[in-house]
Amino acid sequence: MGQLAQLPDDRGDSGRARIRIDRASKQLGHSGVAVTERHYIERAKVAPDNRGALDQLAR
């Protein structure tokens, strides 16, 4: 389906709308999806726990 964007809703409050990133990019008039991703996609604040996989690689 494509990556989803978290965009502020039109009321300007803390509500969020989930829409496809390609559609969001076009709606916002961005030159490409990369611009939308840079400004609107929420990044994870904590990396996933990969200790098990890293331990296996270290063996």
Return the CA Rg of the chain: 16
pTM: 0.45
What is the tens place of the pLDDT at every residue in 11-24? Answer: 444 455 667 888 88
Distance of alpha carbon 10 from alpha carbon 31, whole angstroms:
22
Q: In the prediction, which pLDDT does 20 show?
A: 83
- In angstroms, the Cα distances linking 33 to 2, 6, 44, 47 are 11, 14, 19, 23
Q: Show the tokens assigned to 48.
A: 């996933």
Vertex 40: Cα angle to 37 and 45 (nearest 5): 90
Q: Show the tokens assigned to 37.
A: 């991703």
What is the tens place of the pLDDT at every residue in 1-57? Answer: 455 555 555 544 445 566 788 888 899 999 998 998 888 887 777 888 899 999 999
